[in-house]
Structure 1
Amino acid sequence: MNANAPMSLYQLVSNNRVDDVIAYLAEQAYVDARDENGCTALMIAIQQNNLTLAKVLIEHGADVNARDVNQLTPYLCAGANGFHALLSLTLAHGADVNSVNRFGGTPLLPSSEKGFLRTVQVSLDARIPVNHANKLGWSALLEAVILGDGGYLYADVIEVLLDAGADIHLQDRDGLSALEHAKALGQHNVVALMTQNEQVKQGYSASLRLVKQHIRQFDYQAALAILTGNRHDFTNLADYFYYCGYLLTELERFEDAIVAYRQGLALSDDKAQFSLYIANCYRLAKQPQLALVEFDNGIAAKPESPFVLYHKSNYLRELGMHEEAVDTMTQLLSQQPHRYDYSFHRANSLRSLGRHDEAIVAIEHAIKHDERNGLYYQHKAKSLEIIGRLEQAIAVINHAIEVCDDCRELFEIKNNLLNE
């Protein structure tokens, strides 16, 4: 491109040129023009967690429900990344709370999976359905149990989901419920929350009950004042330092939060979870190298567990580091070859790298474990289509129509392939 050529709206947003974006929009009527990936300028602002520019674009009419080539909208993107302020902004400007991403998930599912407690609460307050299941057959509660660790953060996520009516008996595609998964994973405190909720809550100290109440109301300053003024109520100081760290994180005092989490880490038997909390602080502070170091510290602290390794893979994909994400998912599959969700995520990263033959092999592993799930066939057919094997792609969709539980999208995909 000519170095003297004017920047596009996407470039201005990417470079955080707020005044130039405002000037551009004053002269240009169409705010929802798309780049080669189908992303609007608003989607780019959301991906960069840029609240200022997102507000400017929405004020000029940007569509919070505009889908990119991957069927992602600014609203869904904000929720999946835990950008709670942006999620609230899109909700206030017409976000379709019943819309789902290409995996069939609402913002509540990925935020529960990743432990974004505030985003989970924003989603629930917006009445996003708590028991909606995605195409993997997982509800938000199943995600929080299967992909969580039952530690402080995930126990709090699960508690708010349960209070919103999450069904502990809802089964995944393997016929297992969240309660059964929690028992199998040894998440004893989560089992207690599911089966003895009121008794568990009665065991909280008065100050912890108040702290949790203020957290749900997003009044973090008041919660922190109560917490620090009642330190003597905490017989386990690791509990105290966890909540200090969490509240300081929400107040965007990331350095102070890291200090608190490190104090909790020193006192806790489960150091991996505190490493994850520290990594998330670095993530929010936009210090990816330090975040990745802390993920590795968590993995080293509990090498037998896939928990931190899986969440590192999520972060690598968020950074666009798909080569590293593929390696991480390969490592996870070597530990748990039956986890077809790992194979599915590995296939997605391989597709992002243009390695479609390998992606097809990876998705076939997922199909082997769940032969009636149309999502997997869709992804296999897409890779075949991209590499020019159209007849094979149609054959895959035809087979899927014969065996899958839900064929509505499959018929649409078949028609699109036939019209190429």
Structure 2
Amino acid sequence: MLRFLLFALAIGNAGASHAQTAPFASDIVSYTGLHLAAHEGDVDEINRLIAAGADLNIRDRSLRTPAHIAAFASHDDALIALANGGADMNTLEDGIYDVLTIAAVANDPEMVSLAMQLGNKPDLITSVYDGTALIAAAHLGHHDVVARLVAGGAPLDHINNLAWTALIEAVVLGDGGKDHIKTVQILVEAGADKSIGDRDGVTALQHATSRGYTEMVDILK
């Protein structure tokens, strides 16, 4: 019964980590001003609009700011221009994601580091699961992103509303492959608390053991 429940939760959370919704074509054709400039990575236009007094935190219909759009489009220079102009780097769109978590899910290490440099807080609570960018990255096995978030001071032992930490998610929602193994290694070496259990008290080590993830087991021991 427990294994079935964990599987059901894993499926639900797996969808959630990808629940960020990039702008649809219908959104893009409606964009003007900073949203359009951010989508196109047009730094000159962004700077012109800022000088003209444009609202840096204007929202589209999904509550995305121009900074969110720049993140979805992987336009680093556009994000820098927006942040330098005074854009709020810690706003959440309607899926409850910030720039940092968008970049983490997209496996964009450079933008992850940049977002933190520009003031995006690594301890921000994001998603309907009350998680963090680190949990999202660990779940997906994005170990380069995990390493950068750890270096940036992301909380290692935050527990989301599924009662899972980044370490537990890397095991429970991972596939036991090299990317998730590396993720577990980074988290353990950084000092993640291996003793934390889920709602049933099952630790990351116990989850790894039950799944036959021998390399993870060796790291977690």
TM score, norm. by length of structure 1: 0.43
Q: State which of 97, 119, 122 in structure 2 corresponds to 1:72.
A: 97
In structure 2, what is the Cα distance between the partners aligned to 1:80 and 1:132?
17
Structure 1 residues 6 and 127: alpha-carbon distance in aligned structure 2, compared to 1, 3 A threshold? closer
Report what 2:70 is aligned to. 45
In structure 1, what is the Cα distance between the partners aligned to 2:125 and 2:60?
22
> How big is the shift at 1:189?
1.2
Q: Greater RCO between the two (CA within 8 Å, min separation 6)?
A: 2
Structure 1 residues 141 and 80: alpha-carbon distance in aligned structure 2, compared to 1, 3 A threshold? same
1:70-93 superposed Cα distances (whole Å, 9 cap, x missing partner)? 322223322333222222122112
Letter in 2 for 1:104: D
Query: The residue matched to 1:39 in structure 2 has which SS?
Result: coil
In structure 1, what is the Cα distance between the partners aligned to 2:43 and 2:112?
20
Letter in 1 for 2:144: R
In structure 2, what is the Cα distance between the partners aligned to 1:81 and 1:192?
29
For the 8 Å contact 1:76–1:100, the answer to whether it is kept is: no
1:277-296, aligned counterparts within 5 Å? none
Report what 1:81 is aligned to. 106
Letter in 1 for 2:151: D
Residue 93 in 1 paired to residue 118 in 2? yes
Residue 34 in 1 paired to residue 59 in 2? yes
In structure 1, what is the Cα distance between the partners aligned to 2:212 and 2:147?
26
> How big is the shift at 1:168?
2.4
1:128-167, aligned counterparts within 5 Å? 128-167=154-193
Q: State which of 171, 177, 193 in structure 1 corresponds to 2:197.
A: 171
In structure 1, what is the Cα distance between the partners aligned to 2:98 and 2:139?
19
For the 8 Å contact 1:79–1:119, the answer to whether it is kept is: yes
* Greater displacement, 132-141 / 80-89: 80-89
For the 8 Å contact 2:41–2:77, the answer to whether it is kept is: no
Letter in 2 for 1:108: L
- The structure in which a higher percent of residues are helix is 1
Report what 2:148 is aligned to. 122
1:395-414, aligned counterparts within 5 Å? none
1:110-165 superposed Cα distances (whole Å, 9 cap, x missing partner)? 11111111110111112211111111111111111112222222211111111111
Q: Identity of paired residues, percent?
A: 28
Letter in 1 for 2:76: L
In structure 2, what is the Cα distance between the partners aligned to 1:167 and 1:124?
14
Report what 1:378 is aligned to. none
In structure 2, what is the Cα distance between the partners aligned to 1:75 and 1:149?
24
In structure 1, what is the Cα distance between the partners aligned to 2:82 and 2:92?
16
For the 8 Å contact 2:72–2:102, the answer to whether it is kept is: yes
1:188-337, aligned counterparts within 5 Å? 188-195=214-221
Letter in 2 for 1:150: G
For the 8 Å contact 1:82–1:116, the answer to whether it is kept is: yes
In structure 2, what is the Cα distance between the partners aligned to 1:163 and 1:40?
36
Letter in 2 for 1:103: Y
In structure 2, what is the Cα distance between the partners aligned to 1:157 and 1:29?
41
> Which is higher, the Rg of structure 1 or of structure 2?
1
> How big is the shift at 1:188?
0.8
Report what 2:135 is aligned to. 109
**Cα RMSD over matched residues?**
1.9
In structure 2, what is the Cα distance between the partners aligned to 1:13 and 1:123?
24
In structure 2, what is the Cα distance between the partners aligned to 1:6 and 1:23?
17
Letter in 2 for 1:73: D
TM score, norm. by length of structure 2: 0.79
Q: State which of 3, 25, 40 in structure 2 corresponds to 1:15.
A: 40
In structure 1, what is the Cα distance between the partners aligned to 2:169 and 2:220?
15
> How big is the shift at 1:6?
9.4
In structure 1, what is the Cα distance between the partners aligned to 2:118 and 2:215?
39
Structure 1 segments, 4+ long, off by >6 Å, are: none
In structure 2, what is the Cα distance between the partners aligned to 1:128 and 1:177?
21
In structure 1, what is the Cα distance between the partners aligned to 2:101 and 2:179?
22
Aligned residues: 191
Letter in 1 for 2:172: I
